[in-house]
Amino acid sequence: MTTLANLKTIEKAAAINTSVKTGSGVKPRVPKVAIAGVSGYAGGELARLLLRHPGLEGTAPLFLGRAGETASDTVHTLESLHPHLAAIGTVPTHPIEPFHWDRLADAGIEILFLALPHEQSREWAPEAIRRGIRVIDLSGAWRLKEDSNRAVYKLHDADPDAAAELQQEAVYGCPELHRDEIRTARLVANPGCYSTSMILALAPLVRAGVVDLETGIVCDAKSGVSGAGKAPTSKTHFMYAADNLSAYSVFGHRHTGELLEQLCLTSDQIQFTPHLLPIPRGILATIYLRLKQPAKPAEIQQLFRDFYAGSPLVRLHATPQLPQIQHVVRTNFCDLGFALGDDGKRLVVVSCLDNLLKGAAGQAVQNLNVMCGWNEEEGLL
């Protein structure tokens, strides 16, 4: 039986390092990058960011379709699929090629972004690792360590033992929490959009041990329609979503497991209810909790400042100012703010981000930056 130990063709110590050596006159090496799956909203944003990333020096990623597609099945160019990415003038367009492992080998691909359905990412990531390619996966296939939390995705593994071993190696791709592990990771599991907004709001408080977990945490989060993906459904088409606001997946949203694992909480300590907003993109999460002991606003402000010192893509609002979606949309920032009750114990935290950027493609590029030794915000401001 093939085990992950037999798949380790490269050591973590050999992680790609493309850091700029200022003053040395040595030109940094440009990593060879590919994206599998550029047809969706997140895939399109990922392509846009990487095409303009200064670390790639104008070297376009390899854009690939999905397994089983032929040249006639695949949309021929990125620009025909995403017309807003067309350059000025008569600059050559970027082809989208049928996916094949030999094509990645011929191109010398070192880092592969998987912007694919969960089931396909679950299948492809082990093969990429076996071939010595590092993976940044935008799906939910590798985010969750616990079988009970991952069951919501209904994934099937051809080799359960090898998948279980790789699952334990996968690093949850939230740089603000795990940047040290991300630097040398072979498989980075990009967080979900809702979970990113809530984890970043709660991590400083939960890790400091100031939250009254017996009282519990309530997360009321609202997302734009693009969070549901590009394929239309009866709940996301215009006639349903416009002029409407609806709750869904109560007690069963697939991002809940990420909250439990990353914040080390139990299901009876936190309640997350998502809502669909009639806007294209953006998330606003309002989080209600109680503190164990009374605190002053300045103490809570300092706690957040200390936790996110060195995290350039988290912006903190001075209380009583609160974040708004309009200030984060089309950026890779997560904005955090809070209001503290007169009793010093009732705390409301508000978190805002763009679900397609900090909640998906932008965070994937942030992980690339960490893996390559670049500034975390490179290509994202």
Active site residue 334: no
* Least-confidence region, from 35-49, 66-80, 238-252, 281-295: 66-80
Inform me whether the pLDDT recorded for 305 exceeds 70: yes
Count CB neighbours of 156 within 10 A.
10
pLDDT digits (tens, 9 = 90+) for 154-211: 999 999 999 999 999 999 999 999 999 999 999 999 999 999 999 999 999 999 999 9
Q: How far apart are CA 138 and CA 331, in angstroms?
A: 18
Confidence of residue 237 (pLDDT cuts 50, 70, 90): confident
The predicted model scores a pTM of 0.91
Determine which of 54-58, 108-112, 133-137 has the lowest per-residue pLDDT on average: 54-58
Q: How far is CA 310 from the centre of its chain?
A: 19
pLDDT grade for 90, boundaries at 50, 70 and 90: low
Distance between CA atoms of 50 and 365, rounded to whole angstroms?
8
Q: Strand (E) positions, the chain?
A: 33-36, 62-64, 96-97, 111-114, 134-137, 171-172, 187-189, 217-223, 246-247, 270-276, 283-290, 314-316, 334-340, 346-353
Residue at 239: amino acid letter: M
**Pair type for strands 134-137 and 283-290:** unpaired
The CB density around residue 183, as the number of other CB atoms within 10 Å, is 18
Q: Which residues in the chain are classed under CATH 3.30.360.10?
A: 194-353
User: pLDDT-derived band of residue 72, with 50, 70 and 90 as boundaries?
Assistant: low
Provide CATH code, domain 4-23+31-190+361-372: 3.40.50.720
Angle, CA of 291, 293 and 294, to the nearest 5°: 90
Query: In sequence order, what are the residues at sequence separation of 6 or more whose Cβ sits closer than 8 angstroms to the Cβ of residue 222?
Result: 245, 274, 275, 276, 277, 283, 284, 285
What are the backbone dihedrals phi and psi of residue 350, each rounded to the nearest 5 degrees, phi first? -115, 130
Q: Give the residue with greater pLDDT, 148 vs 3.
A: 148
| pLDDT value of position 236 | 83
pLDDT band at 15 (very low <50, low <70, confident <90, very high): very low
Return the structure tokens found at 154: 């209904």
Of 174, 193, 334, 372, which residue is the catalytic one?
193
Band of residue 230 on the pLDDT scale cut at 50, 70, 90: confident
Cβ neighbours, 10 Å, residue 311: 17
Place of tokens 């309002």: 286
pLDDT tens profile 348-376: 999 999 999 999 999 999 999 999 999 99
Residue extent(s) of CATH 3.40.50.720 domains in the chain: 4-23+31-190+361-372
- Supply the pLDDT for residue 231: 78
Of the ranges 14-18, 75-79, 109-113, 267-271, which one carries the lowest mean pLDDT score?
Answer: 14-18
Instruction: Specify the range with the lowest mean pLDDT, choosing from 4-8, 9-13, 73-77, 120-124.
Output: 9-13
Is the pLDDT at 10 greater than 80, yes or no? Answer: no
Residue 124 dihedral angles phi and psi, to the nearest 5°? -85, -35
pLDDT, position 58 = 73
Distance CA(168)–CA(153), nearest Å, equals 17
Laid out side by side, the sheet with 96-97 consists of 96-97, 62-64, 33-36, 111-114, 134-137, 187-189, 171-172
pLDDT on residue 16: 54
Tell me the CATH architecture of domain 194-353: 2-Layer Sandwich (3.30)
Q: 88-92, 273-277, 337-341: which has the minimum mean pLDDT?
A: 88-92
- Mean pLDDT is lowest, of 87-91, 249-253, 272-276, for 87-91
C-alpha 111/C-alpha 165 separation (Å) is: 20
Percent of the chain with pLDDT over 90: 77
Q: List b or e across 249-286, with b for residues whose CB sees 16 or more CB atoms inside 10 angstroms.
A: eeeebbbbbbbbbbbebeeebbbbbbebbebebbbbbb
